[in-house]
Amino acid sequence: MIGFVNILLAGTLAIVPTLAIENTNIAGYDELRHCSDYNRLRADITLEHEKYTDVLGKLIIDNETIYTSKPNHLQNDPSIYRAYLQYRGSKHLWSIGKQRIPLGVGRIWNPIDVFNPIDFSAVETSERIGTESIRYEYAVSYLSNIDMTVAKDKGAIRLKGYFDFADVGLVGIWDRETDEDIVGWEIEGQLMETGIELRSEGGRFYNRNSGEQHTEFIIGAEYGFENSLNLLGEYKYSDETKNSDIGALVTYQPATLWFCSLLMVANIDDHSTLIAPSVEYSLSDEMTLSAGSFFYRRSNDDEFGQASNRYYMRWFIHF
């Protein structure tokens, strides 16, 4: 059970802070005989107002200690993972600060996310560093909304509608870091009554300097069985590199306390591959232990380049 510290400040405008603490340690080893240890102590603070329940403040502070054996190096850095103030009304949502921008529907790749795209080769793919930005969302109707995000050197505007067959979004993006403008889409919905979820995202990329254009997109499908087996597949294509990639993620819970996953990614053109199995065991309600590896088949000139096979163990506890 997460331990909470609730403090009620006296006065008519009472603010209730909620504190949660967690610690993550990831020990790693690769085929080049490099050892590493990453430790993250995280404090998650939520501020809510007793009277103004539509307003929420979030502050997540990390202290990260990173050790690498070659070269022998140890560093310790505090950082802010999230820090934002949010108002959520019946039709309007405002969020200001360092936050995660929800853009794209891909699970292995999301090509239109210019803020913080998925890194499928990371141990913790759910860890997505926040972007300092202002985000606004307006509910046009019960089944559609428009949202806009403005950050340093980049931004996005999206119109999204929820139809009977799928959720469809049209996205316009500008990125001064890469000097690109993007007109893209998001589609996510169920295939008839089969229980198979289909999704796609992508866009037309325009380079302001060269005037060149290219298209990049993904198509994916996902299905979950009653026995907890979940199958996910995605195909990615870019007509700029003329590369096609396929990815598959299989997850299964063989017993109450166990969770297994297998990620496979392959470049169809250069035949480079990544296979990443992992297993997780719940030691208690507050603690999990997991282990996994990343196996590459590659050459110096392919997609994975100099990536080396590596192994890790992850320990996580929250209070």
Which parts of 141-285 fold into alpha helices (H)? none
pLDDT in tens, 16-67: 899 999 999 999 999 888 999 999 999 999 999 988 999 999 999 999 999 9
Domain shared by 122 and 152, yes or no: yes
Q: Which amino acid is at 39?
A: N
Domain match, 94 and 186 both: yes
39 within 8 A of 24, measured Cβ to Cβ = yes
Residues 64 and 166 in one domain: no
The per-residue pLDDT for range 95-116, each reduced to its tens digit, is 999 999 989 999 999 999 999 9
Last residue of a domain, one of 214, 240, 274: 214
Is 230 a member of any domain? no
- Tell me the average pLDDT of the chain: 92
Q: To the nearest whole percent, how much of the chain has pLDDT over 70? A: 95
Range of the structural domain that residue 47 is part of: 1-84
Are residues 99 and 150 located together in one domain of the fold? yes
- Are 142 and 127 found together in one domain? yes
Query: CA separation (Å) from 296 to 7, 70, 194, 272?
Result: 50, 21, 35, 7
> Taking residues 255-282, what's their average pLDDT?
95
Based on the domain organization, do 42 and 143 belong to the same domain?
Answer: no
What band does 11 get if pLDDT is binned at 50, 70 and 90? very low
Q: What is the DSSP string of 301-314?
A: TSTTTT---EEEEE
- The pTM for the full model equals 0.89
Domain contains 223 = no
- Report pLDDT for 13: 53
Domain boundary among 187, 214, 241: 214
Q: Could you give the percent of the chain with pLDDT greater than 90?
A: 81
Instruction: Check whether residue 55 and residue 170 sit in a common domain.
Output: no
Helix (H) or strand (E) holding 35: strand 35-49
Are 177 and 117 part of one and the same domain?
yes
pLDDT value at residue 9: 42
Overall domain count for the chain: 2
Domain boundary among 43, 61, 84: 84
Residue 202 has pLDDT above 70, yes or no: yes
Question: What is the SS3 assignment for 101?
Answer: coil
Is there a domain that residue 147 lies in? yes
- Is 2 within 8 Å of 286 (Cβ atoms)? yes
Separation of alpha carbons 80 and 73, rounded Å: 23
